Structure formats: structure tokens, C-alpha cells
Amino acid sequence: MTRAFNLRADIAADVPRTAMIMAAGLGKRMRPLTATRPKPLVEVAGKPLLDHVLDRLISAGVQRAVVNVHYLPDALEAHLRNRSELDIAISDERDLLLETGGGLVKAAPLIDCDPFLAVNSDNLWIDGPADTLRLLASQWDSSKMDALLLLVPHARAGNHSGLGDFHMDPVGALRRRGKARIAPFVFTGIQIVAKRLLDNAPAGPFSTNILWDRAIAESRLYGAVHQGLWFDVGTPLAIRATEEALAQG
């Protein structure tokens, strides 16, 4: 891995002013905790997952958050009304859950900057040498990227049980795991996205993977390596493991 695509503490940049927070999912893996509350409101280390994300965005200078809602949406909206530190807009998917890609497309008219941040609400990250989102923004290059994904090495992906998502070449371009037994990098759920990634997107529900595959085919999907801690908080057991790791410093 070249130094250029490991996030560095000696460079930083302003992050996009607006972030899309993916919060509409059903949270099936988090049952029974999600029987009465949406997954983003499940607490880890005494704070809802959604608040962990919002606090990180605010710290990085984000001014507006667009949050999509579907499952138990009233609870999410009521919680968000208590967060006055930034402007919050709701992308309403009550009638139809649109998955990750469809959710981005529906929210696009509410997103007032290009590129923008997109962040999953079920991951928790700790900064490394400097603010993770600012360092990610410092790697953005609009001339060659449609999306820049924050990745974590498979060996450091807390609670993650998958086989990894991507291989990365020396300049940061990504390709899929393919037929390899394992891929060295896991997607953290954090990315910077150019609105052109959404051009000619499918209608209705679909996965962001469709857009990523198109970007890979055009050599416009890139990655940068997270230098801090990252935890996949998708199940009740993962909550306990994450809290134990945080308590140990």
C-alpha cells in the first residue's frame, strides 16, 4: 500500500457540508433489540448509534444531515428533533424501503452539495491520528473519482465476520474480491460520493453495489485506509464486544 492512500495526519481538508445518513433499514440482525425501536437508536456505550454518527459529523464540520427513515420512522424523527446542532432533513421512505442505492437517489434533491458524504448508521469509528472525515476529504479528487470509500484492513475490522470487500491497487483504485478467498479491505460504511454516481440509476429499490460496479468498470471507484478503530455494530453480541473494546481503550 502506498503512503498516498493511507490517511495521513499531516494533511486535512474541509469535508462536504452535507452528509446522507442511511437509517431506514429494518435492523433484523439486531433483534430482539429492534422489536420496539429502530436500529439507529440502539445504544452502544451509553449513546444511540445515530448520535455517535451525528457527533462525528458535527466534529468534522458537517452542517446538514439528510436522514432516510422507514422502520419506526416517528421514533427516529422525534429523536432527531432534539439535535439542533446542525440542519436535519428527512428523506421519507415510509411507503417503500429503497435499499442503499435507491435511498441515495430519493434523497439527492435534499443534498445541497456535490460531492457529499454518505454514512451508514450502524457502524462506530474512532479517529486515528486526526479527524477521519477531514482526512478522507483530503484524498478526494473529482477529476478521477465518482466515489471514495473509507476502508479498514480486514484484520482490524471489529466484529466483522465477512470475507472482505475490496482489493486496492497502489494508487487507490478498487476492485471486487471476486474469486479470491478473502479480500484485504472491508468497507466501513463511510464514503464521499459525487452526484454523477447517481446518473441513470435504476428506479425503485436497489443496492449501491450496482453504482459501485459501474464506477469500477470506468476506473472511478477509489478507497482510502482508515487509521483508527472501526466496529461493525450489527448484532446484540457486537454491542457487547464493541463496548468491551472501548472500555479497554
pLDDT of residue 1: 37
Residue found under cell 494508487: 171
Q: At 249, is the pLDDT very low, low, confident or very high (cuts 50, 70, 90)?
A: low
Q: Which residue, 14, 52, 40, is CA-closest to 131? A: 14
Indicate the length of the chain as a whole number: 249
Please write the tens of the pLDDT for every residue from 89-109: 999 999 999 999 999 999 999
Please write the tens of the pLDDT for every residue from 80-93: 999 999 999 999 99
Contact 174, 222 (CB under 8 A): yes
pLDDT of residue 2: 38
Choosing among 3.40.50.1370, 1.10.3720.10, 3.90.550.10, 3.40.50.300, the CATH entry for 15-247 is 3.90.550.10
| C-alpha to C-alpha distance for 123 and 223, rounded to whole angstroms | 18
Residue found under cell 435499499: 99
For residue 5, is pLDDT > 70? no
Q: At 3, is the pLDDT very low, low, confident or very high (cuts 50, 70, 90)?
A: very low
Domain ranges of the chain: 15-247
Q: What pTM did the predictor assign?
A: 0.92
Contact 227, 129 (CB under 8 A): yes
Please write the tens of the pLDDT for every residue from 210-248: 999 999 999 999 999 999 999 999 899 999 999 998 888
| Strand ordering across the sheet containing 229-232 | 123-126, 229-232, 157-158
| C-alpha to C-alpha distance for 197 and 161, rounded to whole angstroms | 29
Please write the tens of the pLDDT for every residue from 34-47: 999 999 999 999 99
116-120 and 185-193 strand pairing? antiparallel
Contact 113, 151 (CB under 8 A): no
Mean pLDDT computed over every residue of the chain: 92
Angle of helix 208-217 relative to helix 99-107, nearest 10 degrees, comes to 90
DSSP tag of 68: E
What value, to the nearest 5°, has the Cα angle with vertex 143 and ends 140 and 146?
65
For residue 77, is pLDDT > 90? yes
| Residue 175: CB atoms within 10 Å | 14
